Amino acid sequence: MSQVTGTGRVKRGMAEMLKGGVIMDVVNAEQAKIAEDAGAVAVMALERVPADIRAQGGVARMSDPDMIEKIQAAVSIPVMAKARIGHFVEARILESLGVDYIDESEVLTPADYENHIDKWDFKVPFVCGATNLGEALRRINEGAAMIRSKGEAGTGDVSNAMQHMRKIGGEIRRLSSMREDELYVAAKEMQAPFELVKEVAANGKLPVVLFTAGGIATPADAALMMSMGADGVFIGSGIFKSGNPAQRAAACVKATTFFDDAKVLAQVSRGLGDAMVGINVADLPAPHRLAERGW
Amino acid sequence: MKVGVLALQGDVREHVSSLIACGVDPISVRRIEELNSIDALVIPGGESTTIAQLAEHYELFQPIRKRIADGMPAYGSCAGMILLADRILDAIEGQKTFGGLDITVRRNAFGRQVDSFESDIDFNDGGSQKVHAVFIRAPWVEEIGKNVKVLATVISPDGQSHPVAVQEGNLLATSFHPELTGDHRIHRYFIEEIARPALVRGGRR
C-alpha cells in the first residue's frame, strides 16, 4: 500500500476544504487564537499586515521562522505564510517549517521581476494572486493549486477586488461561449496555455479554487465577494486594524456563509465599532499599487 | 428519500455531485427548516472548528445532535468524521461535536499539509476492488467502542494500523475524501446500505 504525498490532488483538495471560509492575516499567536476562535478556516502568518507595510515602506520579506512556529503551535487550523514572488529559497524555508500553504504574494517586495516560483517542484501547495484570467492560468501552469483575485491590499477599499473578480468571471463566461476553434486565439491573447484555456471553456470555472483578497474590511464586503462567485475570502488588515477584532472576525465568518441572506448580514453588521480607516485606491500613486506587481 | 449536505463551510459542492451520481437529489442545509425536511445528512470536509462554530451560532448544533441521536443516518468525511465522533483529541479548548459515533478521533493525526497523501486502500463493503483514498490533514480513529465496525485501515509512518473508515448503526465516517475522486462507492454504500434500509425500517422512504 504505497502512500504518495505532494500530488496535485492533495494540493488542490486542501483548497477545496477551505471553501466558504475566511482566511485571516495574523502577526502573532494571540491574534491567531482570536482568528481560530472566531471561526477562521486558516490563518496567514506575517510580520506586518499590508496596511503597515504600506505605512512603513521598505522591503517586505518572508516572516521570521520563530514567529511562524509560534503561530503553528498556537492553533489547530492550517497556517499559511507568504514568500516573495520568485523567491524559491524563502519558499523552501517555509516548506521545511511545515506551513500548510505558501502565498507567493505581491504584498511582499518581489525578488524576481521576470519569473515566478516553479511551484510543481514543491510538496507544499501554493496560492497566487491574479488580476485577470490569463494571469490566473499562467500561475496554475506554474503549479499554483489555488488562486486568489488580487485587490489593493492594506487599503480597506474593495473596488479593486471587485474589478478583478468581475474581470476573471467575465473572461471565463466569454470563453464558455466560444467555438472550440476560437480558443486558440483566445489563449494567445490572454497569454495562457491552450490546454488550460480549453479546460476553463469546457467547465465554466477555474480548475482550482478561487478566493478573493485585498481591501475587504466589513462583513458586507465579504458577502459581496461571495456573491461575485468567490469560493472564500482572505481578510488582511481589515480585522486586526479595526476597533473590535474578535467580533469583526466572527461577523465576517458568518457573512461569508450567509452571503445571500440580507437579514443575517444586517444582524452581524451591527455594533462592530470602527472599521479600519482605509485609503482610497484612486489616491494611491501608481508605484505604490501592489496589485500591479506580478504578471 | 431526501438527503441534505451540511453547507456551513467546506467542500459541499463535491458531496452534492457525488450524491447526484448515486441517484439522489440532495439539498444544502444551512437552516433549521432545511434540517427538519431531510431524512439523512452528509457532513463535508472542511474545518471542524469553523463548522461547529457556525452550527452553534445559527442554532443548528443541538437540533443536529438530537436528530443524529434519534437515528437519522449521517455520513461525515474528514471534518465530518470529527464532528460525528463522541470524543476528540488535539481539539481546541471547548471544541464540541455532534457526536453519535462511539469513537475517539485524533485531529490532524497524519500531520500537516506536506504529509497529506493518496493511497489505494481496502474498503470492507463486500467489494473486492480497492478504493482510491485522498487524505488531507486527515484525522484517524484512535479508539473504538464495542459496536463500531472498522471498514478500512491505514498504516501510519510509525508502522501502526489506524481505522480510517468506521460505521456504527446509521452513522458512517471516513478520514479520507471520496468526494474528490469521482469514485462514488462510499456514497453509494451510505445511501444504499445505510440510509435507505434505515428509512424503510423506520417506515419512511
The yes-or-no answer on residue B22 being catalytic is no
Please tell me the predicted confidence (pLDDT) of residue A163: 95
For residue B204, name the pLDDT band (cuts at 50, 70, 90): low
B-proximal residues of A, 104-123, CB under 8 Å? 123
Q: Is A219 on the interface with B (CB under 8 A)?
A: no
Residue A277 has pLDDT above 70, yes or no: no
Asked whether residue B140 carries a pLDDT value surpassing 60, the answer given is yes
Top-confidence residue, A153 or A176: A176
What letter would DSSP give residue A272?
-
| Distance set, CA A77 to CA A21, A95, B12, B69, B111 (Å) | 12, 17, 19, 28, 12
pTM of the predicted structure, to 2 decimals: 0.95
Dihedral angle of Cα B92, B93, B99, B102, to the nearest 10 degrees: 90
Q: Which three cell numbers stand for residue B104?
A: 475517539
Nearest to B136 by CA among A291, A74, A6, A164: A6
Q: Which of A1, A2, A3, A92 best tests the B interface by mutation, with the highest count of B CBs <10 A?
A: A3
Q: Which of A237, A243, A172 is nearest to A202 (CA)?
A: A172
Q: In Å, how far is B13's CA from the nearest CA of chain A?
A: 9
A82 or A240: which leads in pLDDT: A82
Q: Answer whether A20 sits within 8 Å of B135, measured CB to CB.
A: no
Q: Percent of chain B beyond pLDDT 70? A: 99
Quote the mean pLDDT of chain A: 93
The verdict on a CB contact (< 8 Å) between A39 and B54 is yes
pLDDT at A188 over 60: yes
Predicted local distance difference test score (pLDDT) of residue A1: 56
Nearest C-alpha of chain A: how many angstroms from B204? 31
Helices H / strands E in chain B, number of each = 7, 12
**Catalytic-role residue among B15, B78, B162, B168:** B78
**Closest by alpha carbon to B162, among B149, B172, B147, B152?**
B152
Using the structure block, give the residue that is written with the C-alpha cell 488550460. A196
CB atoms within 10 A of CB B69: 11
- pLDDT average, residue stretch A124-139: 98
% of residues, chain B, pLDDT over 90: 91
Answer whether A18 touches B (CB < 8 Å). yes
DSSP state of A263: H
Catalytic annotation present for A198: no
Cell representation of residue B188: 453509494
- Do A7 and B78 make contact, defined as CB atoms within 8 angstroms? no
User: Which is it for strands B74-77 and B40-43: parallel, antiparallel or unpaired?
Assistant: parallel
Candidate from A10, A21, A95 with C-beta closest to B116: A10
- Nine-digit cell at B53? 462554530
Kindly report the CATH number assigned to the domain that includes residue B172. Answer: 3.40.50.880
A vs B, Cβ pairs < 8 A, gives 131
pLDDT value of residue B163 = 98
What cell does A36 get?
481560530
Is pLDDT at A61 greater than 70 in this prediction? Answer: yes
Out of A2, A3, A100, the one facing B112 most closely (by C-beta) is A100
Assign A86 a pLDDT band (cuts: 50, 70, 90). Answer: very high
| Complex ipTM tops 0.90 | yes
* Number of domains present in the structure of chain B: 1
* Mean pLDDT, rounded, for A153-167: 91
B166 inside 8 A of chain A by CB: no
Cβ atoms of B51 and B9 closer than 8 Å: yes
C-alpha closest to that of A41 among A73, A6, A11, A78: A78
Shortest Cα distance from B112 to chain A (angstroms)? 6
Least confident span in A87-96, A234-243, B5-14, B41-50 = A234-243
B-chain residues within 8 Å CB-CB of A9?
Answer: 118, 134, 180-181
Residue A287 above 70 pLDDT?
Answer: no
Range of the domain at B107: 3-201
Question: Which of B5, B9, B58, B96 would best serve as a mutation to test chain A binding (most A beta carbons within 10 A)?
Answer: B9
Say which amino acid occupies B200.
V
State mean pLDDT over B152-168.
94
**Is any Cβ of chain A less than 8 angstroms from the Cβ of B47?**
yes
Q: How far apart are CA A216 and CA B37, in angstroms?
A: 36
Cell 473572461 belongs to: A171
Is the Cβ pair B155, A36 closer than 8 Å?
no
More confident residue, B107 or A55: B107
CB contact under 8 A, A5 and B116: yes
Window A:33-92, CB contacts with B under 8 Å: 36-42, 75-78
What is the pLDDT at residue A56?
85
